[in-house]
Chain A
Amino acid sequence: MIALILRDLRIAIRAGGGFGLSLAFFFIIVIFFPFAIGSNLDLLSNVAPGVLWVGALLACLLSIERIFALDFEDGTLDLLVTSPLPLEGVVISKAFVHWLTTGLPLVCLTPFLGVLLGLQNSSVIFLIISLLFGTPALSIIGTFGAALTAGMKRGGLLLSILVLPLYIPTLIFGAEAARRGIEGFETQTSILLLLGVTLLSWAILPFAAASALKINLR
């Protein structure tokens, strides 16, 4: 598994690996918002958690199609299935690499973008925490969707439609936690629910994704 993770990280960083694509996309969305809404700082800081969360979600959607598509096209997936590595392990590695190359950089970028949206330093913390707990769920759910549509040429549209409803709980609890924190309410419930969704997805979806892959390879 470690070999697979290292290999995928290496591919992601090399030219054309797709690393930076979702990051740039996230960056663009968040930069465009102040231009579109205007310079009303109160308004901006009110919508900031929602904007950052939707931006993170869309940035994830943009990159999940690649998770299995490339390995499917060049035959690597067939070979991985017949290798000693369990398919669930392959799924977990892929999701982890996706999070490392998408979710984690987004979290790191958030403090800077928060300034752009007029957030106070004390509020940014809540956004970082909610994104840190929520983005792993986006990655594993996306990997599950990618497994379902593996082997489909141009499966991107179907993938987005399949995955969007599954993203909604994470979006609701994540944005809620950030908003409540910024407004000074207690955030424990939303954060626990967000963490619950993340942990549940990581516990169940690797198995579901592995069976979906097995069916798709036939």
Chain B
Amino acid sequence: MVISVRSLSVSRGGISLLQGLNIEIKNGYMGILQGPNGIGKTTLLRALAGLQPIESGKIQVSSDDICYSGHLDGVKPTLTVQENLEFWANIFGFSSISAVAEKFILVDLLNIRVGNLSAGQKRRVGLARLGLTGRSIWLLDEPTVSLDETSVKIFGNIINDHLSENGSALIATHMDLGFKNNAQIIDLLKYQSKPGELSSSDGAFL
């Protein structure tokens, strides 16, 4: 198991969101988190990435293998696509960005400043970072927002390639990315906290 979550409870701003959550994901497989807005998909992914404290339960995941990608792309508008990608490649110890730029169809955009790109192109730059980390567990929060149909398909293929290389992923998405039997749908509605159950008052402050 690369990701193993047992009876996990998470809360946001002192309000308990999810309770008794169990997830098991093996190498080469992925989980798709589904549920209505506000159910706690982002909170769960941030907790797995170590960006958020948990209420109770157990998370077993090697934090050195995690690559988190949230709603925001983490790209700088005044730098060119190439400079942005090279920065992340350097941080993660990668030398070349050309293969990744090709995969994410960014070759023609390399010398354009990100501030001049469209939202979907900018998203592609943000997602291209995944390929530059060399990390095996991808935690993706709504990765397909503002991508067009072709890009979604291409991104689906990139994830499938990643899984076939023994990687794994946990994705919060409402889109059909065209996954086959290596995907497991996790409906968070089942684990929703009962209303009125407030966590300890400390939660709001820590």
Contacts and interface: CB of A to CB of B under 8 A. Distances in A.
Contacts of B64: 84
Interface in B72-89: 72-79, 83, 86-88
A75 B114 CA distance: 15
A75 B74 contact: yes
B182 interface: no
B81 to A, nearest CB: 14
A19 to B, nearest CB: 11
Contacts of B86: 3
A-side binding surface: helix, strand, loop or mixed?
A: helix
Contact of B79 (A3, A7, A80): A7
Chain A interface size band reads: 20 to 34
Given A3-B90, A75-B70, A82 B51 contact: yes
Contact of B66 (A7, A11, A82): A82
Interface string A7-18: 100110011110
B179 interface: no
A218 interface: yes
A80 B69 CA distance: 11
B2 to A, nearest CB: 16
Given A11-B79, A74-B73, A82-B67, A3 B53 contact: no
A20 to B, nearest CB: 14
Interface of B: 49-53, 63-64, 66-79, 83, 86-88, 90-93, 129, 133, 206
21 contacts: A4-B87, A7-B79, A11-B78, A11-B79, A14-B78, A74-B72, A75-B71, A75-B74, A78-B49, A78-B68, A79-B68, A79-B69, A79-B70, A80-B91, A81-B51, A82-B49, A82-B51, A84-B91, A84-B92, A85-B91, A215-B206
